[in-house]
Amino acid sequence: MQQEKFGEKDFQNIIGNLLRYGVWISLTVAFIGGVIYLIHHGHEVENYSVFQEKDRSIFEVISSVYQGAIHGSGTSIIFFGIILLFLTPIFRILLSLFSFLIEKDYLYTVITLIVILIISISVALGFSH
C-alpha cells in the first residue's frame, strides 16, 4: 500500500476549517460573554457622555482580559471573543507559512514573513503611544 503525501489540498482544508471554526468559536465566546454581561448588568443605564481611555500596553490588556474571563466577567469574555476573532486570520497566515515551507516555495515564504512582520510592527506601534 502506498502512503499518501500530505499536500496542498490538505493544507487548504485545514486553513478553511481554521477560518470557519475560528469565527464560530469567537462569536460563540462573545455571545456567551454578552449573555453573562446582560445577566449581571442588564438593568444598568450606561453613561456614554464621557470616554476615558486607559494608557496600557498590549500585554496589560491581554492579561486583564484573561484574568477577567477566568473570573467570569462578561465584558472580559466578550473581549476574549474579539481577541479570538482577531487571531483567526493570524493563525491562517502562520499555517500558510508552514505550508509554503513544506512545499519549498521560498518566494511565498518570504512574502508571508513580511506580512507577519508588518502585522507585528503594527500591533507593537499601535499600543505604544
Euclidean distance between CA atoms 87 and 29, whole angstroms: 14
Q: Is residue 114 part of a domain?
A: yes
Mean pLDDT, residues 75-94 taken together = 91
Give, as one character, the DSSP assignment of residue 5.
P
Q: Is residue 92 part of a domain?
A: yes
Q: Is residue 29 part of a domain?
A: yes
Q: Is residue 67 part of a domain?
A: yes
Mean pLDDT, residues 79-98 taken together = 90
Q: Is residue 72 part of a domain?
A: yes
User: Total structural domains in the chain?
Assistant: 1
What are the pLDDT digits (tens) for 99-109?
Answer: 888 888 899 99
- 56 against 64, higher pLDDT: 64
Q: Is residue 1 part of a domain?
A: no
Q: Is residue 50 part of a domain?
A: no
CB count within 10 Å of CB 22 equals: 19
Contacts of residue 60, defined as CB under 8 A and 6 or more positions apart, other chains included, come to: none
Q: Is residue 51 part of a domain?
A: no
Structural domain range at position 15: 10-39+56-126
Enter the pTM of the model: 0.74
**What DSSP letter does each residue of 81-113 carry, written as one string?**
HHHHHHHHHHHHHHHHHHHHHHTT-HHHHHHHH
